[in-house]
Amino acid sequence: MGQWLSWVKSNEKEILNILDNLAKKSVEVSNELVELFADMEHLDEHHTKIKQIERDADGYTRAVFAELNKTFITPLDREDIQRIASKTDDVIDFVEGISGRVVSYKITKAPPFMLEIAKELAKATVEVEYMISKLGNLKKNKDLINHCRNASDIEHTIDDLYRDAVGKLFETNDAITIIKLKDIYEAIETASDRCVDVADVVEDIVLKYA
C-alpha cells in the first residue's frame, strides 16, 4: 500500500512538473515574439526559434495527456488539468502563428502598437507560469487569485491597444495591408484571451481546493 501511495504522489508531481515546463515555454515564446518585433532585421532567425519552442511545447502537451491517460488519481480534476494544458498550448500556437504571418506577409517593420502589445502578452504569460508553478501547494499560495486578476487586467490593456492599433490601421487606404495587419492584431489579442482562460481555470481550482 505504501509503495502504491508513493507512486501516486510521484505521478502527481510529474504531471504538475510537465505543466510547469509547458508554461515556461509560453514565457519563452512570448519573449521571443517581443524580440522579433524589436529586431525585425533578424526576422527569420526569431521565427525559427519560435517554431522550435512551439514544437517543444507540443511535446509537453502530449506528455500531459499521456500521463493523464495512465493515471487513476490526479492531483487536480482531470478536466482542469486538460484545460490548463490545452489553453497554455493555444497561447504558444497563436504566437507561432503570428510569427508565421509576419514572415509570409513579408512584414518588414513592426506595425504600430505591435511591440507594446507583444510586451503585454509576455507579462501575461509570466502570470500564467507563476500560477501553474504554484498548483502543487494551493494552501500556501493564497495570492493566486491576485495573479488571476493580473492576467485579466493585462488582457484589458491589450484590448485597449488592439482598438488603438486597428483604429490607426483604418486611417490608411491600403486594403491589402489592412487585411494583413488586422489578421496579426487579432491573433495576438486572441493569445491574450487564452492567458485569461488559463487564469479562469486556476481561479476555479483555487476556489475548489484552497
Q: Which of 188, 159, 195, 194 minimizes the C-alpha distance to 98? A: 188
Domains of the chain: 2-209 (1.20.58.220)
Task: Give the tens place of pLDDT for each residue, 156-207.
Answer: 999 999 999 999 999 988 999 999 999 999 999 999 999 999 999 999 988 8
Q: For 4-38, how does the pLDDT look when each residue is reduced to its tens digit (9 = 90+)?
A: 334 344 477 889 999 999 999 999 999 999 999 99
Q: Where are the alpha helices (DSSP H) in 134-174?
A: 144-169
Q: Which of 75, 65, 31, 78 is nearest to 50 (CA)?
A: 31
What is the model's pTM? 0.91
Considering Cα of 151, then 153, then 158, then 163, what sign does the dihedral take?
positive
Residues 207, 210: Cα–Cα separation, whole Å = 6
Confidence of residue 77 (pLDDT cuts 50, 70, 90): confident
